[in-house]
Structure 1
Amino acid sequence: MTSGAQIPRHLRRPQRRGACVPQPELRTSSADWLEGVLGMFEAEGLDVPALLRDAGFDPESLHQQNARFPVDEITMLWQLAVSRVGKPTLGLNRELASTYSKLGTVGHAMACAPDLKTSLGSLTRYMAVISDATTFSMNDDPRGSWMSLEHSGGSLPIPRQRVEYALLTLFTFARWAARRDLQPLMVEFVYPAPADDRPHREAFGCDIRFNCSANRLLLSTVDMTMHLPTHHPALAEMHQHLLEDQLTQLGQTTTSSLVCAEIARRLQQGEPRRQDVAAGLGIAERTLQRRLQEESVSFQSLLDRTRRELAQQYLAEQRHTLTDVADLLGFVDTSNFFRACKRWFGLPPAQYRARIWQGSGPAGRMLPAGALLN
């Protein structure tokens, strides 16, 4: 293991405690999931107490009931871990992903499902309990089903190791739930190919494609439709009630949150109309408008909020050109995107991106030293 440099004092964040209730529009991950990640870090040879200290975490906050942590703070830990361990494939190990992942109540509910497709499909609704900074989706394919992961809500670049570990965790859970040695048909990542992709092929057991449009994994129809030996309808209903309560506490059952998710899903096809979003949610446009009025929010403000949040993430990823980002956000031309960026961040998109990668974030917030060491 290589020793990483200490974070200079002026780059450190103050110690903080996990918040039981996330702030508005603040994307967070659960302490349970983070504890599992830290266990994996320790198994990989990292000094976890030093990692937490240098990233400004109070270790006691991990043990507070319902504690959650902002997406950028989780990203910071990953950045520091990667820079210190000196291993570009940190966490890319099937045994580690199986041993240290903590899906909590979500995992219990998934295990009670009748088949693997239903089990994994429940993540589209309950992923927010684990992390509302991560979106999980499933798409049918003639060969089976794609499972896709996307991160949003942060201003720091998401390390590829974090995404690879998360996707590997979902795959190892599927193997455990099915009690079979599943083999993906294909795995795709948005990142460039590494010099040696053997660790990726060994971890997932199949060919890997890089420089793709999404981070996703394809399982066959036969695998997805197999009966799960742990199927238990009564327990499934009990866990679902618990998860619905947690979603409510996180503000994930409001009409506003559902609209934002539907907007995000549609943006790449252009700016979504209110009537299209209402149809996607299965309600009348008038009903949608009334519910948003009850929450004192407008459709246009939710569209703007969603675009701003996604813009932060897309601009942190150098693989996207500015034109790409404008297209992904559903703008008809780049000039509208440029004006929106100046309104959101006080800077045009190129300057905002440069500020991220030069070491200081928006509003004077500094990036961790780990980002500068990579």
Structure 2
Amino acid sequence: MAAEASETVCTKVTGHSVLVSWVSSVCQTARGYGVDPVPLLIASGLDARLLHIPDARYPVAGVRRLWDGLIQATGDPLFGLTVGKEIQAPALQGLGLAMISCGSLSDLMMIMVRYCKIISTTMNISFDHPPDLKGTKLVLRSDGGAEPMNSARLAVLAFIYRQACSLSQHLVRPLSVTLSLGVNSDAARLDDYFRVPVNLGCEKDSISFAYEDTIEPYAGANRQLMDINAAVVGRYLNRLNNMDIADRVDMLIREELQTGEPRLCTVADLLHLSPRTLQRRLREEGHSFNGLLDKARYEMAHDLLMHSDLSITEIGFRLGFSDLSNFIRACHRWFGCSPVKHRENSLLISV
């Protein structure tokens, strides 16, 4: 991951996002199923041209739609497992290079804990040291929902396990693997890959390794190379974390609109802030939560009225209006006319 290229792209990132090179690897896996991912990218609202810009980023909402489309197209509910088995570490740019040059499984896990948000800003990986476990547990979770079948988390767990075996140059057997997938999932396939009985229907997605496996030194370790790449990745992550709060709130509002009217307390919770702190930080940037919500609704209303054949009632519902009359009043404020008239005017302009 070149620092200069990363900086150029990061200035354009808004809201929660996913590294394009990760998505590119997901798409490459789909091709192995005989599925062309490009139409699914487009249908998910993602620009396929960005696949050639590894350090670029896609919005999380679009990537989650892509996962859904790929699972349906491949017919494989455990498509995420295959992604984790096949993705190559160098595809993750500096993050992958830091991983393959690390000195032990302990280093590998620490890199994933510190820098997992390079892959997705909604991803969280943390250590857990339960008293009854003679080893180390990694726990994965996602902010603001998850992909169908928790595909991204499953892919990351499978990827971490594969790197653990590859870098140690011998089979490493986990102490345990827990997944929040339903108990009707293909347990035998999961057991076969992780080489232990996988516990399904659990509260957390996790993988645990024995202490002796975590401290075993890797023959291919290169501390200098690991530190150089980790520094580059760290600078990239700092730029992601320093996004304007208004941009992050705007993205979350648009995601929340898919299920109902966004609430200040909900968005604040997703950002790990109190509602009062969120309001203060927005004021410091010259914004308000209600103003960002109104702006998002305005832009989405115009887009849906102009580019879709959805009914006025359904568009109002998609924008979080429980009462159609409130949507109509908002359209008069935004466009100076009713939603029906704005659609007619937009069609005349397009002709």
Query: Normalising by the residue count of structure 1, what TM-score does the alignment of the two structures yield?
Result: 0.60
Over residues 211-241 of structure 1, what are the superposed CA-to-partner deviations in whole Å (9 max), with x where a residue is unaligned?
A: 2121001111111111011222221221122
The answer on 1:76 being equivalent to 2:65 is yes
- Counterpart CA distance in 2 for 1:150 and 1:359 is 32
- In structure 1, the partner of 2:280 is none
- Counterpart CA distance in 2 for 1:114 and 1:85 is 37
Classify the secondary structure of the residue corresponding to 1:102.
helix
- In structure 1, the partner of 2:286 is none
Give the length in aligned residue pairs.
260
Classify the secondary structure of the residue corresponding to 2:76.
coil
- Counterpart CA distance in 2 for 1:34 and 1:123 is 17
- In structure 2, the partner of 1:232 is 222
Query: Normalising by the residue count of structure 2, what TM-score does the alignment of the two structures yield?
Result: 0.64
- In structure 2, the partner of 1:247 is 237
Over residues 46-104 of structure 1, what are the superposed CA-to-partner deviations in whole Å (9 max), with x where a residue is unaligned?
A: 12122223223321122236310111111100101111222222242488435588332
**1:128/1:362 CA distance change after superposition, 3 Å:** farther
- Counterpart CA distance in 2 for 1:186 and 1:62 is 35
**1:222/1:41 CA distance change after superposition, 3 Å:** same
Amino acid at match of 2:269: R
- In structure 2, the partner of 1:208 is 198
The answer on 1:307 being equivalent to 2:287 is no
The answer on 1:92 being equivalent to 2:81 is yes
- In structure 1, the partner of 2:47 is 58
Over residues 233-256 of structure 1, what are the superposed CA-to-partner deviations in whole Å (9 max), with x where a residue is unaligned?
A: 2212211221122122213599x9
5 Å-filtered alignment, 1:153-302, equals: 153=144, 158-194=148-184, 196-251=186-241
Question: Does structure 2 retain, via aligned residues, the 8 Å contact 1:124–1:136?
Answer: yes
User: Which one of the candidate residues 35, 44, 50 is aligned to 1:46?
Assistant: 35
Amino acid at match of 1:131: S
Please list every run of 5 or more consecutive structure 2 residues that lacks an aligned counterpart in the other structure: 1-7, 246-263, 274-289, 295-313, 322-351
Aligned residues: CA RMSD: 3.7
**1:222/1:94 CA distance change after superposition, 3 Å:** farther
- Counterpart CA distance in 2 for 1:212 and 1:234 is 39
Over residues 308-334 of structure 1, what are the superposed CA-to-partner deviations in whole Å (9 max), with x where a residue is unaligned?
A: 4589xxxxxxxxxxxxxxxxxxxxxxx
- Counterpart CA distance in 1 for 2:317 and 2:179 is 26
The answer on 1:147 being equivalent to 2:109 is no
Amino acid at match of 1:307: D
**1:99/1:246 CA distance change after superposition, 3 Å:** closer
Classify the secondary structure of the residue corresponding to 1:219.
strand
Question: Does structure 2 retain, via aligned residues, the 8 Å contact 1:189–1:214?
Answer: yes
**1:345/1:252 CA distance change after superposition, 3 Å:** closer
- How far apart are 1:158 and its partner, in Å? 4.2
Over the matched positions of the two proteins, sequence identity in percent amounts to 19
Amino acid at match of 2:18: S
Please list every run of 5 or more consecutive structure 1 residues that lacks an aligned counterpart in the other structure: 1-17, 257-301, 312-341, 347-357, 366-374
**1:212/1:246 CA distance change after superposition, 3 Å:** same
Q: Comparing both structures, which one devotes a greater share of its residues to helix?
A: 2
Over residues 171-213 of structure 1, what are the superposed CA-to-partner deviations in whole Å (9 max), with x where a residue is unaligned?
A: 1112112222111121101122125411111121110111212
The answer on 1:118 being equivalent to 2:107 is yes
- Counterpart CA distance in 1 for 2:188 and 2:315 is 32
Moved more, 73-82 or 123-132: 123-132
- How far apart are 1:166 and its partner, in Å? 2.1
- Counterpart CA distance in 1 for 2:243 and 2:115 is 11
The answer on 1:363 being equivalent to 2:325 is no
- How far apart are 1:114 and its partner, in Å? 2.5
Amino acid at match of 2:95: V
Question: Does structure 1 retain, via aligned residues, the 8 Å contact 2:149–2:181?
Answer: no
- Counterpart CA distance in 2 for 1:228 and 1:345 is 51
Greater Rg over alpha carbons, structure: 2
- Counterpart CA distance in 1 for 2:102 and 2:57 is 27
- Counterpart CA distance in 2 for 1:83 and 1:136 is 27
Amino acid at match of 1:152: D
Amino acid at match of 1:179: Q
- In structure 2, the partner of 1:136 is 125
Question: Does structure 2 retain, via aligned residues, the 8 Å contact 1:184–1:206?
Answer: yes
Classify the secondary structure of the residue corresponding to 1:177.
helix
- Counterpart CA distance in 2 for 1:159 and 1:195 is 9
